[in-house]
Amino acid sequence: MNATTWLAEFVTKHRMDDSPEPAVEAARRAILDCLGVMLAGSLEPAARLLQRVAQSEGGMPLATVVGTGRRTGAVWAALCNGTAAHALDFDDTNFALMGHPSAPVLAAALAAGELALADGRAVVHAFLLGFEVETTLAEVVNPAHYEHGWHATCTLGTLGAAAAAARLLGLDPAQTRHALALAASQSSGLKENFGTMTKPFHAGHAARSGVLSALLAREGFTASEHAIEGPQGFWNVLGAGKRALEPLGTLGAPWKILTTGVAVKPYPSCACTHSIIDSTLEMKRTHHLRPEDIEEVTVGVAAGVPRILIHARPRTGLEGKFSAQFSAAAALTDGRVGIATFQDDRVQDPAIRRLMERVHVRVDPAIPTDLERHMWTRVTVRCTDGRTATVDPRPVPGHPENPLSIETLREKFAECAGLVLPADRVDTVREMVEALDRCPDLRSLTAILDSGGTAQGD
């Protein structure tokens, strides 16, 4: 059986009853986190611009644009919601994917779920299946795929989104195979666009492409039976070369959401900055550092990180999310890092920019380079009075080895969702998501994912 057919058979034939409870619980937690950052991200410029286009160009009002009080065509809703989920770069990551697994899959599942009049159990199951497809394929092609310049959130997320949408829309194995093959032809996303609005667009594009692929396949649209593994298919064209099918034999056995895990972000920036931020915040607290006390900051990173943190002198908040220099300087100046940190005015703050000039990034050969640890750092601060402090490589909060507590996850959700939802609705939404697999109608959740008033203006 070829890879495209193998995936289609898994997506259509797996039963929710065969999903272990730890995997279901991990999915619920991932959905809670992603929905929170999707709500917050719906306010961001990238999301608002897409919402404006969707309002004028969108189709029948069948799916919810989260955070806006508006409905549009399912394909447009998936595009808007996927982009919103990634707009703050606050959504979760997965080390096998080397990207953001939940944003494209959840955005596709919400749109397709509303079209299908699905219950919450079906949505959770579809999310699990989409997560499994994208991360299993990632184990086949990464890290070569990511290192070649592809943004895996989009390239692999497109296939995960198609799997989730195909399941919710009730496609049979042949239709699902066509949907996955269609999605493979829409896989794209360049890392060169990191630090711009196009990076979060990648997640939206993946969700949109997944839903569109499933809808077309349902109508009889055809695609190659070998779109993933063929000589001119996904694996060869997107830079990783043809691989053996063995990884596909592990679909759901065990579940990748448990083995490769979900890394929940404590900071709204590229995951490669998190170790830098966490280390510098600790040193500021422990040693009571002031910017004027600091002579030099040295950030040791793994060899691949400078190709991700590409903005040494960022000009905008979006570029700041991909800057080791800004991350360290902002943490040491402000003593905290949150959504407000990565605004244009903070990036231009004179005190932070002066300290950025004293932050130097060096490749440290002692930093582990495996997928689970390549984002770790070694941060050393040298003070004007001769004192030095170092934080060695370690897992940061939210890493699968150091997961956020449920209380901290709920606090993050409340902070993000509270930017959009009325205060008295935040807990209601959270409770519904935490019991999503017992929700009889997804629309009872999507109907309350807005400010409670009229649709947001432009």
pLDDT at 22: 96
Q: Does the structure show a pLDDT above 80 at 455?
A: no
pLDDT at 440: 97
Residues 223-236 pLDDT 10s: 999 999 888 999 88
Q: What is the 3-state secondary structure (H, E, C) of the chain?
A: CCHHHHHHHHHHHCCHHHCCHHHHHHHHHHHHHHHHHHHHHCCCHHHHHHHHHHHHHCCCCCEEECCCCEEECHHHHHHHHHHHHHHCCCCCEECCCCECCHHHHHHHHHHHHHHCCCCHHHHHHHHHHHHHHHHHHHHHHCCHHHHCCECHHHHHHHHHHHHHHHHHCCCCHHHHHHHHHHHHHHCCCEHHHCCCCHHHHHHHHHHHHHHHHHHHHHCCCCCCCCCCCCCCCHHHHCCCCCCCCHHHHHCCCCCHHHHCCCECCCCCCCHHHHHHHHHHHHHHHHHCCCHHHEEEEEEEECCCHHHCCCCCCCCCHHHHCCCHHHHHHHHHHHCCCCHHHHCHHHHCCHHHHHHHCCEEEEECCCCCCCCCCCCCCEEEEEECCCCEEEECCCCCCCCCCCCCCHHHHHHHHHHHHCCCCCHHHHHHHHHHHHCHHHCCCCHHHHCCCCCCCCCCCC
d(CA 157, CA 169): 18
d(CA 63, CA 215): 14
Residue 370: pLDDT band by 50, 70, 90 thresholds? confident
In the chain, what are the domain boundaries?
3-259, 271-391
Q: Does the structure show a pLDDT above 60 at 283?
A: yes
Q: Does the structure show a pLDDT above 90 at 87?
A: yes
Fold of 3-259: 2-methylcitrate dehydratase PrpD (1.10.4100)
pLDDT at 453: 57
Q: Looking at residues 348-360, what average pLDDT do you find? A: 96
Residues 37-77 pLDDT 10s: 999 999 999 999 999 999 999 889 999 999 999 999 999 99
pLDDT at 315: 95
d(CA 243, CA 341): 42
pLDDT at 318: 93
| Choice among 40-44, 241-245, 426-430 with the minimum mean pLDDT | 241-245
Nearest CA-CA partner of 10 in 180, 140, 129, 161: 129
Phi and psi, residue 152, nearest 5°: -65, -25
pLDDT at 240: 60
Residue 292: pLDDT band by 50, 70, 90 thresholds? very high
Q: Does the structure show a pLDDT above 50 at 457?
A: no
Fold of 271-391: 60s Ribosomal Protein L30; Chain: A; (3.30.1330)
Q: Does the structure show a pLDDT above 70 at 317?
A: yes
pLDDT at 454: 45
d(CA 4, CA 200): 27
Residue 248: pLDDT band by 50, 70, 90 thresholds? confident
Residue 249: pLDDT band by 50, 70, 90 thresholds? confident
Residues 158-193 pLDDT 10s: 999 999 999 999 999 999 999 999 999 999 999 999
Q: Looking at residues 11-35, what average pLDDT do you find? A: 97
